[in-house]
Amino acid sequence: MSDFLAAERLTVRPVRASLRGRAVPPGSKSITNRVLLLAALANGTSRITGALRSDDTRHMATALRAMGVSVEETDATSFEISGNGQLQAPSDPLFLGNAGTATRFLTAIAASVDGTVVVDGDEHMRKRPIAPLVEALRAWGVAIEAPSGCPPVTIRGTGRLPAGRVTIDGGLSSQYVSALLMAAPLAEGPVDIVLTGDQIGARGYVDLTIAAMEAFGAGAEDVSAGHWRVSPTGYMPANHHVEPDASAATYLWAAQRLTGGAIDIGTAPDAFTQPDAKAHDLIALFPRMPAVIDGAQMQDAVPTLAVLAAYNETPVRFVGIGNLRVKECDRIAALSQGLNVIRPGLAAEEGDELVVHADPTLRGATVSAEIDTFADHRIAMSFALTGLVTDGITILDPGCVAKTFPAYWDVLAGLGVELRPAG
């Protein structure tokens, strides 16, 4: 582990010159955890390249191994996965840390296992709601319990998923919808998946799910808005290259813009298929970002945008971000708290919206701010940006970036950023 990940705190020193150079984000977390799972459900061997290796993908890989799948790490960004088309019941609960993708996706897939599967996570995951997915699976005929409405979830599968119609409320998390879609090709007949409300977190993640299903020989037909029909095809093995992580890219785009530099991330903004790539155009508007930003379709980029907004010429109100309260931490509260530690009055929570009162005089100022990251990688990575232009910013628990971007601090250091670890 690098000194940066092991440190208790990390002070980010202001840059003396604009950040310039090449810095490539790791593979996409969302795509890696989808294709690892779908490869594991296929009968045969699949090879994944360009993959993310981080806490979240380690939890997925470990869980798949516990269910009888061979998952080999053939190099730093590649996996070779061999399965026989049927997951086995694990002997112990699956521990998935705070990986939302792994937890939600495996909860639905566990219904295809013949035997009992317990899906569990760390103390943060045990506060993240999963009841809508549990209720949808129960209505689909699955014996499933999650007494607290959050993990742990116990699934008593029979190895059979019936054909039918499943309704799901995706307002709190699109991952519930993705989870059901990925389970549906394993059913005994066609499955209709229908949204109960018109709301869905970021619809772009459902598109990523369907693209991953297609890459492994399945698919989902769009019957109408919020209604998909999935045929019982199962999955085929495939070789798949994972594109870089768009959420990780937002920190590099923002660092470039904030310091007036030029960072080559190796992928054009419009070449990403992930929803957070939409944040690029907003970041490019800095320091004249708009007065209102709707974060609903780029939720994981909101911490990046909110921190950047602190240096904007005019205030920015973030709307459509209600479900940030049930991410790795309550991100609306964490962003407001961190910004107010930097300068009192810099941000305010208004219901489920966040107002960032821009203060361009922060650039070049000296403050004394210890940022509580609440074990949330995105809070750590976004607040690190403030340290590039404001003196006196210290990030607590910098190791939490290992959830999705373990090399984050090394990447910043590689661009010439001075980081001082302590503790």
Ligand X SMILES: O=C(O)C1=C[C@@H](OP(=O)(O)O)[C@@H](O)[C@H](O)C1
* Contact residues: ligand PEP, CB under 6 A: 98-101, 300, 327-328, 378, 404
Q: Is 198 buried (19+), middle (13-18) or exposed (0-12) by CB count in 10 A?
A: exposed
CB contact set of 123 (below 8 Å; sequence gap of 6+): none
- Minimum Å gap between C-beta 198 and ligand X is 16
Dihedral angle computed from the Cα positions of residues 274, 275, 281 and 282, in that order, rounded to the nearest 10 degrees: -140
Annotated catalytic residue: which of 55, 245, 276, 300?
A: 300
154 contact choice in ligand X, ligand PEP, none (CB below 5 to 8 Å, kind-dependent):
none
- Minimum Å gap between C-beta 218 and ligand PEP is 22
Q: How many helices (H) and strands (E) does the chain have?
A: 13, 22
Q: Does 54 bind ligand X (CB under 6 A)?
A: no
Q: Does 32 bind ligand X (CB under 6 A)?
A: no
**Token pair 């205030």: residue:** 315
Stretch that binds ligand X, among 14-22, 47-55, 63-71, 174-182 (CB under 6 A): 174-182
Q: Which amino acid is at 23?
A: A
Element (H, E) at 47: strand 43-49
Nearest CA to 106 out of 90, 127, 84 is that of: 90
Stretch that binds ligand X, among 15-23, 47-55, 201-209, 253-261 (CB under 6 A): 201-209
**Among 4, 95, 205, 251, contact with ligand X (rule: CB under 6 A):** 205
Nearest CA to 193 out of 171, 157, 155, 220 is that of: 220
Stretch that binds ligand X, among 16-24, 65-73, 169-177, 184-192 (CB under 6 A): 169-177
Q: In the bound complex, which residue of the shown chain has the CB atom lying closest to ligand PEP?
A: 100
Q: Is 131 buried (19+), middle (13-18) or exposed (0-12) by CB count in 10 A?
A: middle
* Residue 22, marked binder: no
* Residue 257, marked binder: no
Question: Which of 82/199 has CB closer to ligand X?
Answer: 199
Distance separating alpha carbons of residues 161 and 218, to the nearest angstrom: 16
* Residue 70, marked binder: no
Separation of first and last alpha carbons in the chain: 15
CB 303 within 8 A of CB 247: no
Q: Identify residues 89-108 at the interface with ligand X (CB under 6 A).
A: 100-101
300 is catalytic: yes
Distance separating alpha carbons of residues 268 and 289, to the nearest angstrom: 21
- Minimum Å gap between C-beta 299 and ligand X is 5
* Residue 127, marked binder: no
- Minimum Å gap between C-beta 378 and ligand PEP is 5
Binding residues for phosphoenolpyruvate: 29, 100, 128, 175, 331, 378, 403
- The binding site for 3-phosphoshikimate comprises 29-30, 34, 173-175, 300, 323, 327
- The footprint of ligand X (CB under 6 A) covers 30, 100-101, 173-175, 178, 201-202, 205, 299-300, 323
The residues assigned a catalytic role are 300
